Amino acid sequence: MAEVDIQGSLAHAQMLSEQEIITKQDFEQIQSGLLQIHSEILSDHFTWQLALEDVHLNIEARLTHLIGDAGKKLHTARSRNDQVATDIRLWTRQAIDQILEELRQLRLGFCQLAEQHASTIMPGFTHLQVAQPITVGHHLMAYVAMFTRDASRLEDCRKRLNVLPLGSAALAGTSYPINRERVAELLQFDSVCQNSLDGVSDRDFAIEFCAVASIIMTHISRFSEELILWMSPQFGFIDLPDRFCTGSSIMPQKKNPDVPELARGKTGRVNGNLVSLLTLMKGQPLAYNKDNQEDKEPLFDSADTLLDTLKIFADMVPHIQFKPENLRSAVGKGFATATDLADYLVRKGMAFRDAHEAVANAVKVSANLGLDLSQLSLDALREACELARPEMIGEDIYAVLTLEGSVNSRNHTGGTAPEQVLKAISKAKIELNP
């Protein structure tokens, strides 16, 4: 908070000087003193005093000690209420910009891994049951889509946040001839708050940021859950580098996916921060209340937790090691091409509901024989489907029932065909590297 408090104070002092509310000499002294304090804080030579309550009064007291009475003029035409509201917006804006960059790096990592596995076949699941064949690249690009929405939400949040409350004073504005638009320009705010009561008491931007942070962490948690499942011997789809895992204190064979598990756990913490802020604000009358001393801890914690998690995942994702043979083997355990057989029958003239019933019966027959649909002879397949016209199924059915045939047939925008996966990756890379 110290850095943004000094930024806000420098802009406020410059405006006061330009409006001739304080002298140019006063401003130059204030500017020099604040820059020295900034240097002291960065070098860890600043002495914080608990008796002075907060960051703002500590800086102001040190400024007055350095430059004398000119330091006492800095607080002219502002209150700690609009000062704090401005500082929090500056801090959150800075955090959003950092998080947006980490989200960009994470998506690039997903694209890199997806490109390596654009044609690697894996089972797609619904209800955690094998459903249809898909490609690993397609699965990974689903997360790129999620995190792209997250970035859009953050950018949208930033727009609503980027409105200057300074000049609202305690709650009613100030009688001094200030120029709020000039301060907004100096601090790169898009506009100024249009109501002084709302300016000092609004924390919607903090709630909105924490809501977006919760959604991002939820997406990370979903991916973490998949990594945890995929790394288990029951799945055996992936391996993670050792630096993202730990062993057991008692079982020497264990390799635990610590980073995904920790991220899954941290999601609850960030979700809790959102609820804390909503609860904090729900009973507050206008305007500022001391309750708002409690707004910073959940806000700061959400930002720090999210930023750290994104950095770790951006490092980890490109190094996830998929096991293509295990993935392919898993697809064969759930009659994943059954829908392809139904679609084939529809193209031969059968109504979809009839085709659905025919294939369901074929699956039962295959399961009883311990065979996949593609392993049935042509006659057995025709019989299993109980077709009135057996000739509806020809030798070309086996091309349809292969895993490659299945994924390649989904060759449209948003489909799992390798050609479409590569197009999606190329499009994403262009957007991420403007």
Integer Cα distance of 70 and 85 in angstroms: 24
| pTM (2 d.p.) | 0.93
Integer Cα distance of 291 and 273 in angstroms: 15
102-157 per-position pLDDT tens digit? 999 999 999 999 999 999 999 999 999 999 999 999 999 999 999 999 999 999 99
- Beta 163-164 vs 191-192: how paired, if at all? parallel
Structure tokens at 240: 């993670």
Distances (CA, A) of 69 to 46, 61, 114: 20, 11, 62
Integer Cα distance of 43 and 10 in angstroms: 20
Cβ–Cβ < 8 Å for 344, 400:
yes
pLDDT of 248: 74
User: What single-letter DSSP state applies at residue 126?
Assistant: E
Q: What are phi and psi of 215, to 5 degrees?
A: -65, -45
E strand or H helix that includes residue 228: helix 204-231
Which parts of the chain have pLDDT scores under 50?
Answer: none
pLDDT of 419: 97
Under DSSP, is residue 125 helix (H, G, I), strand (E, B) or coil? strand
Integer Cα distance of 342 and 113 in angstroms: 33
Closest CA to 296 of 109, 62, 54: 54
Structure tokens at 273: 């921060």
Cβ–Cβ < 8 Å for 384, 376:
yes
E strand or H helix that includes residue 123: strand 121-126
Side-chain-side CA neighbours of residue 193 (13 Å): 25
Cβ–Cβ < 8 Å for 392, 350:
yes
Closest CA to 425 of 216, 57, 115, 117: 115
Q: What is the CA radius of gyration of the chain?
A: 30
Integer Cα distance of 73 and 29 in angstroms: 11
**Other Cβ atoms closer than 10 A to 253:** 6
Integer Cα distance of 408 and 400 in angstroms: 10
pLDDT of 254: 80
pLDDT of 71: 96
What ranges in 232-257 are assigned the alpha helix state H? none
Structure tokens at 26: 């006063």
Q: What are phi and psi of 133, to 5 degrees?
A: -70, 140
Contacts 24+ apart (CB under 8 A), 372-380: 372/332, 372/335, 373/335, 373/337, 373/338, 373/341, 373/401, 374/337, 374/398, 374/401, 374/402
The reply to whether omega before 330 is within 30° of 0 (cis) is: no
pLDDT of 221: 98
In the chain the domains, ranked by start, together with CATH numbers, are: 2-76 (1.10.275.10), 81-116+135-176+190-323 (1.20.200.10), 332-432 (1.10.40.30)
Side-chain-side CA neighbours of residue 253 (13 Å): 2
What type of residue is 391?
A: E
* Active site positions, annotated: 127, 248
pLDDT of 294: 95
